[in-house]
């Protein structure tokens, strides 16, 4: 599958790094992997790092919005970081930045979420 999910906990913040192509075909895999980890505890907040994401379409937006709802329902916060210009346009168009912050890199995202938590 042309999509890799790498996950790492930083205290109660789950960092998810996606690389490859996030479309309808790979969306289920990403959703499953993330939900498995989120459900097993430890995760209050979520940082989605999109540095190595080469392609994303509206199926990816669905995955991001779905995880946002999940985290929010648990009382947590979510942020995205390292977004390339093409993906940025998609996120902007969908109004995503009205509901979650965007940061330049993981470090900024982590400190941003630690401040609010």
Partner 1 sequence: MSKEKAMERNFMTLQFAAKSENESFARVTVAAFISQLDPTMDELSDLKTVVSEAVTNSIIHGYDSDPEGIVTITAEIVGDTVTLTVEDRGRGIEDLELAKQPLYTSKPELERSGMGFTIMENFMDEFEVSSEPGSGTSIKMKKRIESKKALYN
- Judged by the rule CB under 8 A, the positions of this chain that interact with partner 1 are 2, 21, 23-25, 27, 31, 55, 57-59, 61-63, 65-66, 85-86, 90, 93-95
d(CA 56, CA 20): 9
84 sits in which H/E element: none
The two structure tokens encoding residue 93: 């168009």
d(CA 23, CA 2): 10
Strand bridging mode 78-81 / 45-56? parallel
d(CA 23, CA 69): 20
d(CA 65, CA 9): 21
85 sits in which H/E element: helix 85-93
């Amino acid at each position: 599958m042309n999509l890799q999910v790498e996950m790492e906990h930083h205290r109660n913040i789950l960092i998810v790094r996606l690389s490859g192509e996030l479309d309808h075909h790979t969306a289920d895999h990403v959703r499953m992997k993330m939900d498995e980890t989120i459900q097993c505890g430890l995760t209050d907040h979520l940082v989605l790092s999109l540095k190595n994401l080469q392609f994303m379409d509206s199926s990816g937006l669905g995955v991001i919005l779905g995880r946002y709802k999940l985290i929010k329902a648990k009382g947590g916060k979510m942020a995205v970081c390292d977004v390339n210009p093409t993906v940025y346009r998609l996120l902007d168009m969908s109004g995503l930045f009205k509901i979650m912050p965007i940061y330049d890199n993981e470090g900024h995202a982590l400190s941003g979420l630690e401040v609010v938590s």
